Amino acid sequence: MNRSLDEKLLEKIKRIKLLILDVDGVLTDGRIIIDDLGNETKNFDVRDGHGLKLLMRYGIDVVLLTGRKSKVVEHRAEELGINEVYQGTKNKVEVLERILRKRDIGSDNIAYMGDDIVDVPVFRKVGFSVAVADAMVYVKKASDYITERRGGRGAVREICEIILQVHGKWDEIASTYDLNNSSSA
């Protein structure tokens, strides 16, 4: 881990069973590109995607929860194997409550990443709230943790690695990729 986490944060992260992500500004850099034909594109970081795949492989599920609706998000979720996607959400807390009932888990088992004002009410309801480095100031103030990386630029990967480290899975991942072999160049 790049930064040391205090005991309170470590305890919060140990309880995580589900990571819920806002999309625009978290999984993407927040830019929305629309061409003359109305086709929308977004920028995703491939390392964020790999971090999510690792997280899911090691038992932490992922849900996308966004206020906008976009085919691009559906495609990215499918590509990553994320089966639960909520788009066009006006009230994220209501959807969070639905997710809690559906999965029969406690709110303290959920980590949520956001970047804007609509995410703050969710922050107050989950066990571990994360603001990306370039989130709005009041979002950062409401969060448990602020990433070093920006949204769409590795913030999601950073949190995936932290969760995996705290859950004791990182050494296994490191050995799979031979990260502990100092003789490799």
Q: What residues does each domain of the chain span?
A: 7-167
Q: Is the pLDDT of residue 77 over 70?
A: yes
Q: What is the CATH number of domain 7-167?
A: 3.40.50.1000
Q: What is the DSSP letter of 146?
A: E
pLDDT, one tens digit per residue, over 79-124 is 999 999 999 999 999 999 999 999 989 999 999 999 999 999 999 9
pLDDT, one tens digit per residue, over 137-153 is 999 999 999 999 999 99
Q: How confident is the model at residue 4 (pLDDT cuts 50, 70, 90)?
A: confident
Dihedral angle sign, alpha carbons of residues 145, 148, 149, 154: negative
pTM: predicted TM-score of the whole model, two decimal places = 0.93
Instruction: Give the pLDDT score at 177.
Output: 78
Distances from the Cα of 39 to the Cα of 19, 55, 80, 175, 181, angstroms? 29, 31, 21, 42, 46
User: To 10 degrees, what angle do helices 46-57 and 155-166 make?
Assistant: 20
Nearest to 20 by CA among 104, 109, 81: 109
Distance of CA 68 to the CA centre of its chain: 17
Average pLDDT of the segment spanning 52-71: 96
Q: Is the pLDDT of residue 174 over 60?
A: yes
Give the amino acid at 4: S
- In percent, the amount of the chain with pLDDT more than 70 equals 95
Q: Give CA–CA dist 94/169, Å, rounded.
A: 32
Q: Is the pLDDT of residue 179 over 80?
A: no
- At residue 33, φ and ψ (nearest 5 deg) are -110, 125
User: To 10 degrees, what angle do helices 71-80 and 46-57 make?
Assistant: 50
